[in-house]
C-alpha cells in the first residue's frame, strides 16, 4: 500500500491544493491531506474548520482522506505508515523554502521522500493568502475555491 501525506495549513483549501490532491491520488493508493493545526501562523480558520472544508471537498475521491496533525511532520508520516510527502510547487519562489523543508525532513527521517507536484498552469498564481484577501474585500472567489470553501469564507468574513 503506497500512502502519501499532503501536509499544509489549508487556510483555506483552494482549487490549487485540490489539483495537487487529484494528481497525487492517481499515483498513490491512498492520499492523506494532513491539516497542520498550526501554531504561530494565526490562521483565519480553526483547525476543525479547515479539516471540515477539506473533508467535504475530497468526499468524491475514494482514496483520499482528511486528517489533522501537529508536532513533527516526519513523526506523523511514520505513524501513518507512509513513505512519501507530497508538496505543491507553483513557481521558483516556492522552491527555496520547499527545498529546505524537504532536506530537513530527510535529515530527520531518511526513509521519507518528498514528491513535488506542479498544479495546472492556471493555478500557479493561486494561494490561500490571496484568496483571503480577495474575499475580505468582497471579491468573487468562485473560480479559486470549491463551493463549500466559498460559503465558509462568506460566513467567516461576513461579506
Ligand atoms: P503551508 O502553510 O504548509 O505552506 P499551504 O496550505 O499554504 O501550507 O500549502 C500546502 C502545500 O500546497 C505547499 O506545498 C504549497 O506550496 C502547496 N500549494 C499551495 N497553493 C498551491 C497551488 N495553487 N498550486 C499548487 N500547490 C499549492
Q: Within 6 Å (CB) of ligand 1, which residues are found?
A: 8-10, 14, 16-17, 20, 87-88, 90, 94, 119, 123, 126-128
What class has domain 3-124?
Answer: alpha beta
Q: What is the pLDDT of residue 112?
A: 97
**Any idea of the CA torsion for 96, 15, 78, 83, to the nearest 10 degrees?**
-80
Residue 83 has, within 13 A of its CA and on its CB side, a CA count of 5
Mean pLDDT, rounded, of the chain: 96
CA 67 to chain CA centroid, Å, is 11
Q: Residue 135 and residue 157: Cα distance in Å, rounded? A: 8
Strand-pairing partners, residue 31, are 4, 64
Containing H/E element for 36?
strand 30-36
Q: Residue 35 and residue 27: Cα distance in Å, rounded? A: 21
DSSP label of 122: G
pLDDT digits (tens, 9 = 90+) for 72-98: 999 999 999 999 999 999 988 899 999
* pLDDT above 90 as % of the chain: 94
Candidate of 4, 5, 6, 8 to mutate for ligand 1, largest count of ligand atoms within 8 Å of Cβ = 8
pLDDT digits (tens, 9 = 90+) for 6-58: 999 999 999 999 999 999 999 999 999 999 997 678 999 999 999 999 999 99
Atom of ligand 1 nearest to the CA of 128: 7
How far does residue 79's CA lie from ligand 1's centre (Å)?
Answer: 23
Q: What is the pLDDT of residue 12?
A: 98
Amino acid at each position: 500500500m503506497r500512502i502519501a501525506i499532503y501536509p499544509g495549513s489549508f487556510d483555506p483549501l483552494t482549487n490549487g491544493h485540490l489539483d495537487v490532491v487529484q494528481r497525487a491520488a492517481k499515483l498513490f493508493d491512498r492520499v492523506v491531506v494532513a491539516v497542520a493545526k498550526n501554531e504561530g501562523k494565526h490562521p483565519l480558520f480553526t483547525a476543525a474548520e479547515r479539516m471540515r472544508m477539506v473533508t467535504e471537498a475530497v468526499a468524491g475521491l475514494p482514496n483520499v482522506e482528511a486528517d489533522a496533525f501537529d508536532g513533527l511532520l516526519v513523526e506523523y508520516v511514520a505513524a501513518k505508515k507512509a513513505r512519501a510527502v507530497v508538496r505543491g510547487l507553483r513557481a521558483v519562489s516556492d522552491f527555496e523554502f520547499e527545498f529546505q523543508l524537504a532536506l530537513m525532513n530527510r535529515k530527520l527521517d531518511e526513509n521519507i521522500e518528498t514528491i513535488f507536484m506542479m498544479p495546472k498552469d492556471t493555478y500557479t498564481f493561486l494561494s490561500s493568502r490571496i484568496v483571503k484577501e480577495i474575499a475580505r474585500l468582497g471579491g468573487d472567489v468562485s473560480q479559486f475555491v470549491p463551493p463549500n470553501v466559498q460559503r465558509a469564507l462568506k460566513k467567516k468574513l461576513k461579506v
